[in-house]
Structure 1
Amino acid sequence: MTRRCTATTRTFTAGAYGTERVVHDPLTGLTHRAGTEVGSGRIRLPDADVASWLEIHPAAVHADEPISVCWSPLVRCDLTCPHCLDDKSVSELARSDRRRIAHLLAESAVLGVDISGGEPLLLRELPELIDILVAGGSAVSVTTNGTHLARRVEALASRVDAVRVSLDGPDAERHDHWRGTGSFDHAIAGIRAAVAHGIPTQIQTVLLRSTAEASVRPMIELAAALGLHGVTFLQMLLIGEGARLAGDEQLTDVEATDLLADLTTSSPVPVRLRTREAAGGFTVIRADGQVWRNQPGAHSITSLRPLRGVIDLALTARDGSA
């Protein structure tokens, strides 16, 4: 579910699949069926126009490769969040291999790459990796905890198409409970810096049973006060270290939808809910260079093969993907 009220023009990517033309939004990660004639590749479009176009699950598009991927080139992080999606036992490839994977993605038909982690801003070569992806025609977003965003924002501003900052509470008391003392202030400083540099920015927050009801509306109000492009509420996934919290903290998709229902029409900023169902079938490239795929319903994630060539991104029947 999504609602937008911000009138801006920013970068998207468009591609043709048979007779269907779709647009990928690097800020939200959503795929839309183009509502008018658009070109291919990286294009500038009005935010409100794209938001009004039909949202479709990428699996509904008959593509040979994923529409978008999440690339987690490292597992290192300066925080230790208990609901982290990462498996810290996954090894990290060398810098030269990260560059190789960036070039492979640039050669592919993938429209959007979200660089995540771990904490991607710990990578010194992050600007170089973004440049490679953009040169190949992808829209690029970075998902970060925000701790290092203020000091790295100048290098990102001329490169990245969107930034998604993870928050677990609308104030220091609630956020720092999960992420450590001082993490909220660092994240807010990073968000303010990204906005000041003109980077399309949104908050992402994982819905937890113990905090969701009290935090949802204040989180939306915080996003509005910071001048952000919106908030995406993420359903907790049974993946990585966070799986051990599922019994106590996981909401059903129905509960999450009901929780946010009235806010989709009354929110001062765009609001989106990513259900577990919507996360099913999504492609992840982890730090070990393996292609992973969320299983239907995102109840687990399966390692498929090493990413040695573009062909290894292929969506095939044996992957359980469309």
Structure 2
Amino acid sequence: MTVRIFSAATLGETPLVYDPATELTHTPGRHVPAGRVLLDDAEVDQWPTVIQHQVATRVPFNICWSPLVRCNLQCPQCLDDKTLPESGATERQRIASLLAASNVLGHDISGGEPLLLRSLPQLLEVLASQRAAVSCTTNGWHLQRRAEELAPVVDAVRVSFDGPDAASHDHWRGKGSFERAVAGARAAVSQGVPVQLHAVMMQSTAHRAQSVADLAADLGAVGVTFLQMLPIGDGAHLAAAELVEDAEARRIVESVQPPHGLRVRLRTRELAEGFTVIRADGQVYHNVRGATDIEATRPLLTGADLDLPLTEGVRQ
């Protein structure tokens, strides 16, 4: 049994439990008190999952906040817009406080590379100060040296892998990146932080899905999320050669034999449609047009700016 932090709330009259490792939202099989709660992850895994458009609420289940565009790697499939200006420390603090006061169940700090932020532990602490579960998504390069300071304030860490070995992973992310990501994941696990591997599914990488799952088990991760590649940002120019259609992606992931205790999921482009992202310029963005593009909707000035258009039923 593994007991870890989840976030629970009732949105649109539907009780929900959000998992900061997998990003999945469940409808609980029993009463769960609202807020940050300790639950057995095996029990939560048995509860049905629900997606955003199935619940009558304008509150996003979870959001991704990318407070910086800087990164120490140059991955060709990156989703970021590197032309955006970065907010300063005061603005980041304002956004963190605003997000913490919202009814969103989960916040993930991404980038760029979030571990380049010296203030990352403080921002995570603010985000988790009220009701939400918090995570960060990292390339893992700096995770080994920062795992100890992050452990008290983060509920899960997602580490990006593009292959199960140095040759395949470093092809996409640069020499030495596999070794650093492996060391970072092991360090986080040793500190008691739940680790989820994130693997972008592309034509060049999909055949290694089973080996990525085996790596995740070896590292002590709780699971693997295979992400349908989105033709957004730098990744747009790879779309013609690297996109894997949803049906084929499902077939590949369903063929994976998860090692004992490891949970494997696929996030399709369909599920990514409408997802809420706060980028470094402080604006609210949503994935649009089947998650083939991303659009800014408004500056994030108040909690109401996070609201989804209820009538459209935004998927995540």
CA distance in 1, matches of 2:304, 2:268: 29
CA distance in 2, matches of 1:247, 1:170: 24
Aligned counterpart for 2:152 among listed residues 158, 161, 168: 158
Aligned counterpart for 2:20 among listed residues 21, 26, 29: 26
User: Does the CA contact (< 8 Å) of 1:202 and 1:228 recur in 2?
Assistant: yes
* SS of equivalent residue, structure 1 residue 191: helix
CA distance in 2, matches of 1:8, 1:317: 36
CA distance in 2, matches of 1:319, 1:115: 27
Q: Partner of 1:182 in structure 2?
A: 176
CA deviations over 1:51-108 (Å, ceiling 9, x no partner): 1111111221112221110000000000000000101111111111000000000111
CA distance in 2, matches of 1:167, 1:275: 17
User: Does the CA contact (< 8 Å) of 1:59 and 1:281 recur in 2?
Assistant: no
Q: Partner of 2:214 in structure 1?
A: 221
CA distance in 1, matches of 2:296, 2:161: 28
CA deviations over 1:173-204 (Å, ceiling 9, x no partner): 11111111111111111011001000000110
Q: Partner of 1:123 in structure 2?
A: 117
Q: Does 1:275 align with 2:268?
A: yes
Comparing 293-302 with 33-42, which one deviates more in the overlay? 293-302
Q: Does 1:82 align with 2:96?
A: no
CA distance in 2, matches of 1:319, 1:89: 30
Q: Does 1:310 align with 2:303?
A: yes
Q: Partner of 1:191 in structure 2?
A: 185
Query: For this pair of structures, how many residues does the alignment match?
Result: 314
Q: Does 1:57 align with 2:51?
A: yes
* SS of equivalent residue, structure 1 residue 261: helix
- Alpha-carbon distance change, 319 to 18 in structure 1, aligned in 2, over 3 angstroms: closer
Using the aligned pairs only, state the percent identity. 54
Aligned counterpart for 1:245 among listed residues 238, 249, 252: 238
Q: Which runs of 5+ in 2 are unaligned?
A: none
Q: Following TM superposition, by how much is the alpha carbon of 1:297 offset from its aligned partner in structure 2, in angstroms?
A: 2.3
Q: Does 1:321 align with 2:281?
A: no
User: Does the CA contact (< 8 Å) of 1:304 and 1:319 recur in 2?
Assistant: no
* SS of equivalent residue, structure 2 residue 70: coil
- Alpha-carbon distance change, 319 to 306 in structure 1, aligned in 2, over 3 angstroms: farther
Q: Does 1:95 align with 2:94?
A: no
Comparing 57-66 with 276-285, which one deviates more in the overlay? 57-66
Q: Partner of 1:4 in structure 2?
A: none
5 Å-filtered alignment, 1:291-302, equals 291-295=284-288, 297-302=290-295
User: Does the CA contact (< 8 Å) of 2:6 and 2:20 recur in 1?
Assistant: yes
User: Does the CA contact (< 8 Å) of 1:131 and 1:159 recur in 2?
Assistant: yes
5 Å-filtered alignment, 1:166-177, equals 166-177=160-171
Q: Does 1:144 align with 2:138?
A: yes
User: Does the CA contact (< 8 Å) of 1:142 and 1:163 recur in 2?
Assistant: yes
CA distance in 1, matches of 2:226, 2:12: 32
CA distance in 2, matches of 1:71, 1:319: 23
CA distance in 1, matches of 2:13, 2:70: 42
Q: Following TM superposition, by how much is the alpha carbon of 1:317 offset from its aligned partner in structure 2, in angstroms?
A: 5.5
Q: Following TM superposition, by how much is the alpha carbon of 1:318 offset from its aligned partner in structure 2, in angstroms?
A: 8.5
User: Does the CA contact (< 8 Å) of 1:73 and 1:92 recur in 2?
Assistant: yes
* SS of equivalent residue, structure 2 residue 7: strand
When the two structures are superposed, what TM-score results if normalisation uses the length of structure 1?
Answer: 0.95
Q: Which runs of 5+ in 1 are unaligned?
A: 1-6
Aligned counterpart for 1:10 among listed residues 4, 10, 17: 4
Q: Following TM superposition, by how much is the alpha carbon of 1:136 offset from its aligned partner in structure 2, in angstroms?
A: 2.1
User: Does the CA contact (< 8 Å) of 1:295 and 1:320 recur in 2?
Assistant: no
User: Does the CA contact (< 8 Å) of 1:202 and 1:231 recur in 2?
Assistant: yes
When the two structures are superposed, what TM-score results if normalisation uses the length of structure 2?
Answer: 0.96
